[in-house]
Copies of this chain bind each other. A is one copy, B any other.
């Protein structure tokens, strides 16, 4: 067992045993190194990996934000992996969009069975903020992403939410670049907002099938639009 893997295994075991929970602090790096009989750089390698996977967060100084804390950001880790593999061109963007449509379609279908979910109120609020005139594309897309995540979260499946968030995050920069070359962004944005509202309305009405169909069309339609204007151009 290499030193680096030993640290990782140790932390995972502590988590699995419940001796380490979300919000708790890891021992200091120097302490951990001594306890496990490895050097501090080795400990740091393992902690960096945990950081990348969204399991811990590190902060310098003192106080509650300092030290290494256990968090739970599964989407962060998955998004990082997806983004890197997108860069290697081994994960085609089209497949990524298809998976997102699949998951989000299923999510809104499930969400329609709980039309009073608080996350739907949040989604409504986000839609209102997207309506503000003169909003810049960057802010718009952040709100757009948050809307889709809120919708998915309303379905109550944490894994779906994490994967969906990761998929959205992984393509965020790509989307930002793509919309910059669209011929008529305000017109597109207006259409997207209409589609958002239609999806949310269907969910609130309890019509899961309609909501799923609309959201899939929304996602695939937008994807077709920006690939058409960015790949050939």
Residues of A within 8 A of B (CB): 4, 12, 15-16, 18, 21-22, 41, 44-46, 48-55, 70, 72, 74, 77-78, 80-85, 87-92, 95-96, 98-99, 102-103, 106, 157-160, 162-163, 167
CA distance A54 to B162 in the complex (A): 19
Number of copies: 2
List 29 A–B pairs whose Cβ atoms lie within 8 Å, in order of A's numbering: A21-B89, A22-B88, A22-B90, A41-B44, A48-B49, A49-B49, A50-B84, A52-B53, A53-B81, A53-B85, A55-B84, A72-B88, A74-B81, A74-B85, A74-B91, A77-B78, A77-B84, A78-B82, A90-B158, A91-B158, A91-B159, A91-B162, A92-B158, A95-B158, A99-B160, A99-B163, A102-B160, A103-B103, A163-B163
CA distance A87 to B22 in the complex (A): 10
Which of B16, B48, B90, B95 contacts A87, CB < 8 Å? B16
B102–A90 contact, CB under 8 A? no
CA distance A103 to B12 in the complex (A): 27
A84–B157 contact, CB under 8 A? no
Q: Is the interface of A mostly helix, strand, loop or mixed?
A: helix
Q: What residues of B have a CB within 8 angstroms of the CB of A83 in the complex?
A: 12
A99–B48 contact, CB under 8 A? no
A90–B106 contact, CB under 8 A? no
Given known pairs A41-B44, A99-B159, A103-B99, the reply for A88 and B52 (CB within 8 Å) is: no
Instruction: Name A79's closest neighbour in chain B (CB-CB).
Output: B81
CA distance A53 to B76 in the complex (A): 12
A184 to chain B, nearest CB (A): 28
A32 to chain B, nearest CB (A): 15
Given known pairs A22-B90, A158-B95, A159-B96, the reply for A72 and B50 (CB within 8 Å) is: no
Instruction: Name A90's closest neighbour in chain B (CB-CB).
Output: B72
B160–A12 contact, CB under 8 A? no
Instruction: Name A44's closest neighbour in chain B (CB-CB).
Output: B45
Which of B46, B53, B102 contacts A106, CB < 8 Å? B102
A88–B49 contact, CB under 8 A? no
Instruction: Name A103's closest neighbour in chain B (CB-CB).
Output: B102
B16–A99 contact, CB under 8 A? no
B53–A84 contact, CB under 8 A? yes
A81–B77 contact, CB under 8 A? yes
